[in-house]
Amino acid sequence: MAVVAGPTASGKSGLGLALAKACNGVVINADAMQVYRDLAILTARPSAADMAAAPHRLYGILAADEVCSAKRWRDLAQTEIEAALAAGRLPILVGGTGLYIKALREGLTPLPAVPAAVRAAATARFEVLGGPAFHAALKKRDPETASGLHPNDRQRLIRAWEVLEASGLGLAAWRARQAEKSALDCAYRFATLVVLPPRAEVYASCDARFVEMVEGGALDEVAALMARNLAPELPAMKSLGVPELRRHLLGEIPLSEAIADAQRKTRNYAKRQFTWLRHQVLGNDPACFLLNEQFSESLEDEIFNKIRQKVLTP
């Protein structure tokens, strides 16, 4: 199977579609936010025309009040992979959610159950301390885990703290234990293509695309979510752009400030994706293909021939 990974706004969706058309493929979503049907605009979900041009799976399949964990996505993805192979098609995973791709290829580390009270206490502690101070506190107790987390990564910092509180072991220690191994690497051949255009180009694309999203109806999309009175901690409600546009619709900030804030957070997210891809993918898979520019038709023959040789040639 093929994996097309890259930071947001890098052009990976277009590359995945072109690959699917050239290699009789099925595009399988590997983006944590594109699974939500209520966020078509703000997650830059492939258009109806793109989805009609080649089979697309796991896009817009869940409601905004649901939670899609890495395990849930992996189970769904495995089903779609098997269906594609049974139909004689090439499965093509496309997305920038590193945890999803890692879960599929390497399996998931079993973690302890965390009582609701412990989870609530960890969240409350983060809200009181803030990201940098919370990160520093975690570093004192579990330096190995903390070293791999950004001080502003709220979700993962809280998760690390609650696991430590509930079990007495840090996340790094749990991962060092015997992990649940996935058989996918043994059963299938992977061809991974990492799209990493120059950062300045990606950041500019992030900024321009968010303006296009707003002009294309993103405010209405957020207003519809707000009308449902969904819990703010749900993943869909924390998707890039939703909190900022929500603040504008509540009259707290002008639209220009909401756009600027969302653009900044999107660029920061892209920066973290760059780091993850370089260290976790390129650093661990020397056989993967690296594309250091925006995808264009002139690159199709070279890229697609490499994919065919690795996953389609007996």
Is residue 150 domain-shared with residue 272, that is, in the same domain?
A: no
- 292-303 residue pLDDT tens: 887 777 777 778
**Sheet of 56-57, strand order:** 56-57, 25-29, 90-95, 2-5, 191-195, 289-291
pLDDT of residue 179 exceeding 60, the answer is: no
Is residue 53 domain-shared with residue 145, that is, in the same domain?
A: no
Output the CA–CA distances (angstroms, integers) from residue 237 to 7, 38, 72, 226, in the order listed.
Answer: 21, 10, 19, 9
CATH code where residue 213 lies: 3.40.50.300
The helix-helix angle for 131-141 and 154-167 (nearest 10°) equals: 30
- 28-44 residue pLDDT tens: 999 999 999 999 999 99
Is residue 249 domain-shared with residue 167, that is, in the same domain?
A: no
Is residue 18 domain-shared with residue 120, that is, in the same domain?
A: no
Q: How many CA atoms lie less than 13 Å away from 157 in the CB half-sphere?
A: 24
Higher pLDDT: 21 or 179? It is 21
pLDDT of residue 213 exceeding 80, the answer is: yes
Is residue 137 domain-shared with residue 205, that is, in the same domain?
A: no
Query: How high is the pLDDT of residue 177?
Result: 66
Query: How high is the pLDDT of residue 187?
Result: 56
Among residues 146, 111, 153, the alpha carbon closest in space to that of 269 is found at: 153
pLDDT band at 181; cut points 50, 70, 90: very low
Task: Please report the sign of the dihedral spanned by the C-alpha atoms of residue 228, residue 232, residue 156, residue 253.
Answer: positive
Six token digits for residue 249: 């619709």
Average pLDDT over residues 116-145: 94
| Domain of 53, in residue numbers | 2-108+180-312
9 and 262 Cβ atoms separated by less than 8 Å:
no
DSSP character string of the chain: -EEEE--TTSSHHHHHHHHHHHTTEEEEE--SSTTBGGGTTTTTPPPHHHHHHS-EESSS-B-TTS---HHHHHHHHHHHHHHHHHTT-EEEEEE--HHHHHHHHH---------HHHHHHHHHHHHHH-HHHHHHHHHHH-HHHHTTS-TT-HHHHHHHHHHHHHHSS-HHHHHHS-PPPPSHHHHS--EEEEE---HHHHHHHHHHHHHHHHHTTHHHHHHHHHHTT--TTSGGGGSTTHHHHHHHHTTSS-HHHHHHHHHHHHHHHHHHHHHHIIIIIITT-TTSEEE-S---GGGHHHHHHHHIIIII--
Q: What percent of the chain has pLDDT over 90?
A: 67
Is residue 60 domain-shared with residue 193, that is, in the same domain?
A: yes
**The last residue of a domain, from among 176, 195, 219:** 176
- 74-128 residue pLDDT tens: 999 999 999 999 999 999 999 988 888 888 877 776 778 889 899 999 999 999 9
Amino acid identity for residue 48 in this structure: A
The domain tally of the chain equals: 2
Query: How high is the pLDDT of residue 26?
Result: 98
Is residue 6 domain-shared with residue 121, that is, in the same domain?
A: no
**The last residue of a domain, from among 126, 141, 176:** 176
Residue 145 main-chain phi, psi, to 5 deg: -70, -45
Higher pLDDT: 177 or 303? It is 303
**The last residue of a domain, from among 176, 197, 217:** 176
Query: How high is the pLDDT of residue 300?
Result: 79
Is residue 186 domain-shared with residue 285, that is, in the same domain?
A: yes
Is residue 10 domain-shared with residue 46, that is, in the same domain?
A: yes
Is residue 121 domain-shared with residue 102, that is, in the same domain?
A: no
The mean of the pLDDT values for the chain is 89
CATH code where residue 159 lies: 1.10.20.140
pLDDT band at 190; cut points 50, 70, 90: confident
Higher pLDDT: 31 or 306? It is 31
Average pLDDT over residues 219-230: 96
Query: How high is the pLDDT of residue 188?
Result: 64
Is residue 142 domain-shared with residue 237, that is, in the same domain?
A: no
Is residue 192 domain-shared with residue 308, that is, in the same domain?
A: yes
Higher pLDDT: 228 or 110? It is 228
CA angle in degrees (0–180, nearest 5) for 53-54-59: 110
Average pLDDT over residues 14-38: 95
Query: How high is the pLDDT of residue 183?
Result: 43
- pTM, two decimals, is 0.79
